[in-house]
Each structure stands twice: as structure tokens, then as C-alpha cells.
Structure 1
Amino acid sequence: MGTHKFRELTIWRRSREFCTLIYDMTKTFPDNEKFGLTNQLRRASVSIPSNIAEGSSRRTNKEFKRFLDYAIGSAYEIETQLMISSDLNFITNEDCNSLISELQEIIKMTSKFKSTLK
């Protein structure tokens, strides 16, 4: 088992909270988007804390870094999907920018944490 306790990682907690924000936001999406953007956003948001947790269980920091990269990739996927949601008027520009701002903070923190792993 890895040396990191994922429950103690701020990036894991913040990304879990972000996941809840995404679920709440997508409740207002049109029903015909249930299998489109709603599903995409929810799956990608769940992927961030899940990859952090899974990576923390790996034997080496090199493996952990790979899972942190997956988490960051999911974050960028969400950023694009939020912009598309805004383009389609499913969310306001203000909500989009607010969520992207939080997401960018999570990306920054995850990248910084990743750089501390030898």
C-alpha cells in the first residue's frame, strides 16, 4: 500500500466538494442531456477524487503521479464541458466562470502536490 492517506489530502477533499457542485448544477440541465453533458460532467467530476484515491494506494510515487495526471486530465475535460454548457445556456457565464475558477485551483494544487513526489 502507498504511503499517502488520500482522506488527508486537501486535493482529494476539494475535488470531492467540487463533485457535489457539479451534481447540483447538472440537476437543472434539460432531461434530454441526461446521457450527454450531464453524464459526461458527472463522470469526469467523480474521476478526479477517485483517481487521487486510487493513485494513493500505489506502491510507487511514479504510479501515483500517473493517477494524478488522470485526475488533471479529467479536470481539463470538465473545463471544456462547462464552457459548452455555458454556450448552450444550460448554465450562466457567471456560474461557469466560478466553477472553472475552483477547478483551476484544484488543478494547480494537484500539479504542485505531484511535483513534491520524488
Structure 2
Amino acid sequence: MNLSLPENKRLRFLRWFDFRSGRLGMIAYILNRVTAIGLVVYLYLHLAVLSILAGGPAQWDAFVQIARSPLFLTLDVILLAGILIHGLNGLRIALTGFGVGVRGQKPLFVAFMLVAAVALIAGALKIFAG
């Protein structure tokens, strides 16, 4: 008796990351989960950084110098991307839950992601411009 699962069932979860299938709903699902995890991680990091305030002005000023580095500015842009993608996708899900745009979920997702891209570009320019 063979108790092992067929290959396609054992590795089924890998299909989550196969974007070639063109399933836009799956891409939206993955983006929502990944950005949610990223935002939760950021929340804990943010709380840890706020603890630097207890070290006094000198320690805070040293951190601000580090936070103005290109690496941290790039991380700010990534954070902005996560906020925009998660927020707008969440808005799409909420609208769909209320019965608005149920038949047009894919165009609504694409439109919201285009809005996110434009806002991300504008935000990145603002972040790196100072």
C-alpha cells in the first residue's frame, strides 16, 4: 500500500508562486498576505525604534543620521509600497464584500494597483528628494 501523496498534491503550495497561470485573484491574495506580514514586522520594528527615545537626544540624533541613509530611504519606499498595496487591495475586498464591483474585481484590482504604482512613484520621489 502506497501512502505517499502524488507529486502534484505534495507540491501544490508551490503553485501559489506560479504567476504564469494568469490567475489575477491568486496574485491579489498573495500580495495581501505578504504585505500584511511585512506591515506586522514593521510595526514591531517601529516600536523597537521608538524605545531609542528613552536613550536621550544624543542617541536619537545618531539614529536619525542612520535613518537618512540610502538603505533606510529604500526601506521607506518598500514600506510605502506595502501600505499602498495592502490598503488599496483591502479597499477592493471591502467593496466586494458590500456588493460593489463584484463582477469587475479584476479591473478594480488592476486600477487600484495602477493608483498604488503612481502614488508609490510620487512618494519615492518625495522620500529621496528630502
- TM category, shorter: 0.3 to 0.5
Relative to total residues, which structure has the larger helix share, 1 or 2? Answer: 2
**TM-score, structure 2 as length reference:** 0.35
**TM-score, structure 1 as length reference:** 0.37
